[in-house]
Amino acid sequence: MDITFIFLLGLFFALIGVVPPGLLNMTAAKISLKEGHVRGVMFSVGACVIVLVQTYLATIFASYLSKHPEVIDVLRRVALVIFILITIYFLFLAKATPKQHIEPKVKSKHSRFFQGIFMSALNVFPIPYQAYMTITLASFGWMSFKRIDIISYVAGAVMGTFVMLYMYIFFFDKIKSKTFTSQRNMNRIIGGITGVISIVTLINIIQEF
């Protein structure tokens, strides 16, 4: 498979994973708004360092699972149930909650870089997310677990994460008062994303019968 295509896959799925407002992208945006773009970018770079490690570990884990199809079948079914439940929750049950504003206290560029590393390390969601995505892509024959494919996918994931963080940094001042950032719309976005993943997972399961 063409490494450029694999790179774009990694970039695309990383973008999807970082689209919903979360701890990393909102912190990067607030730092940029209060202290300037440079510090926001430094925070994002630090976060992407951990994303690189997490995505690489996820692909290695996925490579191991690919050699044990019986484990993959079980995990895929479990993932389908989890994604369906998450979709139902965010589309129909989740309610808007007041946002808590945490004032950043750290000021230096290097401190922002290490803050990005620390906060990204606390977010372990990319590991199961990317492991699932790479297993799914491999099952469709869109990538393999050769070293060059893994490097291409990881590079794409890191770039996609940084691009989305930078978009939050660049556009946050313009969209912060818009309905895009309302909790209800964010719940719909998250529910829509997990809904699409649920459909893809279901199709993958059906094709195996």
Over residues 94-143, the pLDDT tens digits come to 654 444 444 445 456 668 899 999 989 988 788 888 888 888 888 788 88
The three-class DSSP label of residue 22 is coil
Number of Cβ within a 10 Å radius of residue 92 = 9
User: What's residue 97's pLDDT?
Assistant: 46
Q: Give pairs for 148-154: CB < 8 Å, separation 24+.
A: 148/3, 149/1, 149/3, 149/6, 150/56, 150/59, 150/60, 150/63, 152/3, 152/4, 152/6, 152/7, 152/10, 153/6, 153/7, 153/9, 153/10, 153/55, 153/59, 154/10, 154/52, 154/55, 154/56, 154/59
State if pTM tops 0.85: no
Query: Which of the two residues, 19 and 31, has the higher pLDDT score?
Result: 31
Q: Cβ-count burial of 49 within 10 angstroms (0-12 exposed, 13-18 middle, 19+ buried)? A: middle
Our count of domains for the chain comes to 1
Report whether 28 contacts 43 (CB < 8 A).
yes
User: What's residue 7's pLDDT?
Assistant: 94
Q: In this prediction, what percent of the chain has a pLDDT beyond 70?
A: 80
Provide the domain limits for residue 199.
3-207
Tell me how far apart the alpha carbons of residues 59 and 111 are, in angstroms, rounded to a whole number. 30
Tell me how far apart the alpha carbons of residues 124 and 131 are, in angstroms, rounded to a whole number. 12
Q: How many residues would you count in the chain?
A: 209
Q: Is 99 left (phi over 0), alpha (psi -120 to 50) or beta?
A: beta
User: What's residue 100's pLDDT?
Assistant: 45
Structure tokens at 91: 């589309």
